Amino acid sequence: METLLRELEKKMKTEGATKANLREFWKLVNHAKLEKQVSDDTLDRINRLRGVLFNEFYPSLLSLRQGLALAAAATLLGAALIWYSLRYDKLLFFLIGVALVMVGTHPLGHWIAGKLVRVNYEYFYLDGPAKFEPCLKIHYVDYLKSSFNSRIIVHACGALTTVLTALILLLATITTEAVLIRGVAVAIFALVIITEVVSWAGFTAGDMKRARNERNLKRVYMKREKH
């Protein structure tokens, strides 16, 4: 791993933050996860590389406190719009409310999971297919020091929060007379389930794919330990 780290450090000095170097960085990270013990100096060097790469491709949008406050506000506003839409049968308000709740609860799920397994976050940035999804930048020294199970929890809880949110929305529409809204809620829940299953299968990027990768790395690590 030390050889890979030195080579990437040299490339970063001469080439800067490139997509190719970002891919090499993720390979390096996988090697670090499979090491039985990684020194604090090595972790700091990896974290510095990640900082440079993230500043180039995923620059800071909001501080951690600002992002969490905005996520909570979006969730509350979205919930209010959903309540209004169900009471007065307003599909547009329902769709806006769902979008706000989904965007708000997802990072909150990651943050709560991080608190449970003692992995911190640094700031919010934009990512996703359209680069509009608010995401949390994880503290990478904490992340790499944590166990495979902890990293699985951190990754999976975002997706599970989204599934739980979609389920609650579906249940909230069961007794409503707004048939169209109820149908949309069913479609949203089905789409969320399909998305997470496809991600777990490895066909698309996402939290479940990251959780599965951690599980696979854990299996490789356990096999090495047995031999």
Give the mean pLDDT of 173-189.
92
How confident is the prediction for the chain on average, in pLDDT? 91
User: Taking Cα atoms as reference points, which of 130, 131, 133, 109 lies closest to residue 121?
Assistant: 109
Confidence of residue 110 (pLDDT cuts 50, 70, 90): very high
pLDDT of residue 88: 93
- Residues 226 and 170: their CA atoms lie apart, in Å, by 46
- The most distant pair of C-alpha atoms in the chain lies apart, rounded to whole Å, by 64
Residue 224 pLDDT > 90: no
Are the CB atoms for 189 and 136 separated by under 8 Å? no
Q: How many CB atoms lie within 10 A of CB 126?
A: 15
Q: Which residues pair with 126 in a beta bridge?
A: 134
Q: Which residues of 60-85 are buried (b: 16+ CB within 10 A; e: fewer)?
A: ebbebeebbebbeebbeebbebbeeb
Give the mean pLDDT of 172-198.
93
- Residues 153 and 170: their CA atoms lie apart, in Å, by 25
Taking CA atoms, 76 is separated from 13, 97, 104, 157, 198, in Å, by 46, 9, 9, 20, 29
pLDDT of residue 197: 95
Tokens of 63: 């501080």
pLDDT of residue 225: 80
pLDDT tens digits, one per residue of 14-64: 998 898 999 999 999 998 999 878 888 999 999 999 989 988 888 888 999
Q: Which residues pair with 63 in a beta bridge?
A: 123
Confidence of residue 131 (pLDDT cuts 50, 70, 90): low
Residue 80 pLDDT > 70: yes
Residue 185 pLDDT > 90: yes
Number of residues assigned to the chain:
227
**Helix H or strand E encompassing 62:** strand 62-63
pLDDT of residue 56: 87
pLDDT of residue 227: 66
pLDDT tens digits, one per residue of 141-178: 999 999 999 999 999 999 999 999 999 999 999 888 88
pLDDT of residue 160: 95
